[in-house]
Amino acid sequence: MNKKLHTPHGVKDYLPAEYYLKSESQRAIEAVFMRYGYSRLSAPTYEYAEVFDGCGAASAYKFVGSGGAVLVLRPDMTPSIARIAATAYKDEEIPLRFCYFEKAFRHNHSYQGKLNEFTQAGVELIGVGGHDADAEVVAAAVHSLLACEVRNFFVYIGHAGFLDGVLDEAGLDDGEKIRMKAALEAKDYVSVGQIADKAGVPDGIMAIFKEYPFLIGGVEMLEQSRGLVSSKVALEALAELESVRRILSCYGVEEHVAFDLSLNSSLDYYTGIIFRGYADGASAPVIDGGRYDGLTEKFGVSYPAVGFAIEMDMLLTALNHQKKIVPQPSTATLLAYAEDGAEMALKTASAMRRQGVVIENSLLCGGLDENVAYAKKRGFGGVLYFENSVNALVIDVETGETKEVKIAELTGGVL
């Protein structure tokens, strides 16, 4: 393979049309974030490895800095924002509402269309616990996808406490819990059965593990799940989800929300609700979020917190699947000139650009006919042609109508 002609695995180029779709989508999302009161911030692309301990560090890109410290290209923005909240803000300044649009970097061993370099757009609500805060960020996530005109999507909400309660009830030790969570996350139900059999899990709990992948639905499913568990932690998790559901109905987003008790995360900082958004055409979640009340504590201050990230590349995959096209603003005018008109043409174009006109220099050495043909091919509305330094020709590309105008008319008297 000629490496000069290819990009490495897990990264990609964005050609103008796709980049414009990405930019317009980010603009729509940022408008939603701002309307909810979130302020934009930024964090370093790489930080000390300790910032990400237990937060996706296993999939991170690591390198040694000039001082010998191990540094990490951030695999996730949330730990960086938790660090900022703990070190730059005091108790009296909470709650904190932050939003961001940043690149992250992660080895995605199971590809599924995921990139190793990807863009996240997200919010973090720090310093507030409770169901109202949980519902706010879920609603903001739904409204963000609606603002991008994504069709056929659902945000599924689970709770870290449900599985924790079931695992406690099963009598598993810490090592078995870790292996069981990993197997459930991977939907490896053969390993789930093997771990349960080896640990001697009671038949009643074994029935929950068998039902686990099917615990998806609405409020009726939550009610049915109460009959499967006796753990106080699991029952409290179900009650919290019901409270969040009631609040979300006030936001008017319930048609895009369902519950999935089988949700758990490889990121071990989630402590409450976990939610993921899936859109038709995207091979992996478009949204990933949840509550992480213990994360800021590792930076010296304990704040409750909840947030989410939109994976912009998965969002683009969904939008491309539904064939969404955002028309790029076309350059209305093509500038062309003969040798005698070059100086005045360039001065006029500069004056018009200062007035907000989009005008592109053809840089062709040909005459008027060649430039008009080029303008037709490229979709320009008109051609501004300078044959001399006194007057210019304005040609309507579609109709062929041509008229002569004075330079002063074009520039509002500036020239």
CATH number of domain containing 362:
3.40.50.800
**Residue ending a domain, choose from 292, 321, 350:** 321
Domain membership of residue 355 (yes or no) is: yes
User: Using the 8-state DSSP alphabet, how is residue 7 labeled?
Assistant: P
Q: Within a domain: residue 213?
A: yes
Question: Residue 413 carries which DSSP code?
Answer: T
Residue 261, helix vs strand vs coil: coil
User: Is this model's pTM higher than 0.75 or not?
Assistant: yes
In 246-330, DSSP assigns E strands to 257-260, 273-279, 287-291, 305-311
371 and 406 assigned to the same domain: yes
Burial 252-286 (b: 16+ CB within 10 A, else e): ebbebbbbbbbbbbebebbbbbbbbbbbebbebbb
Q: Give the sign of the dihedral formed by CA 294, CA 300, CA 302, CA 308.
A: negative
CB 38 within 8 A of CB 98: yes
CATH number for the domain including 311? Answer: 3.30.930.10
Residues 343 and 314 occupy one common structural domain: no
pLDDT (tens place) for every residue of the chain, 415 residues total: 788 899 888 899 999 889 999 999 999 999 999 999 999 999 999 999 999 987 766 788 999 988 899 999 999 999 999 999 999 998 788 899 999 999 999 987 665 678 999 999 999 999 999 999 999 999 999 999 999 999 999 999 999 999 889 888 888 888 888 888 888 888 888 888 889 888 888 887 888 888 888 899 999 999 988 888 888 999 999 999 999 999 999 999 999 999 999 887 655 678 899 999 999 999 999 999 999 998 999 999 999 999 999 999 999 999 999 998 777 777 789 999 999 899 999 999 999 899 888 899 999 877 899 999 999 998 898 999 998 888 899 999 989 999 998 888 887 777 7
User: Nearest-CA neighbor of 225 among 259, 178, 256?
Assistant: 259
